[in-house]
Amino acid sequence: QVQLVESGGGSVQAGESLRLSCAASESTYSPYCMAWFRQAPGKEREVVARIYSRTNSAYYAASVKGRFTISQDNARNAVYLQMNSLKPEDTALYYCAANTGLGLSPSCRRPQDIDYWGSGTQVTVSS
């Protein structure tokens, strides 16, 4: 069973930056795509950014485009989320996620697409 381990969350002021990291526990795991989701209290889990391993193509939610950057290190089975110009509405529990790519149409766009989840790391942004 692959485990995804996140780090880098914390509490910051609006306008500041944070960098989230996620690494897979097994060095041989080769995901089709990886993503960052977030879930605020009382809200549904939503995708923030996703990246596809072979093409390095990245996609972002409209709410974070231009402020967040997702990147990957395939050699380390790691994915990162650089978050700049943070806003109070970015406050949420952030989850690392991966799709192995075994389905007919693998994707990392929706929670139901995901094969493996991290346990989450809290990001709190105060005004």
Sorted by sequence, the CB contacts under 8 Å of residue 33 that are 6+ apart come out as: 50, 51, 52, 53, 98, 99, 101, 106, 107, 108
Structure tokens given for 111: 């929670």
Please report the pLDDT score of residue 40 as a whole number.
97
Could you report the per-residue pLDDT of 12-61, keeping only the tens digit for each? 999 999 999 999 998 788 899 999 999 999 999 999 999 999 999 999 99
Distance of CA 60 to the CA centre of its chain: 10
Percentage of the chain modeled with pLDDT above 90: 86
Mean pLDDT confidence for 106-114 = 95
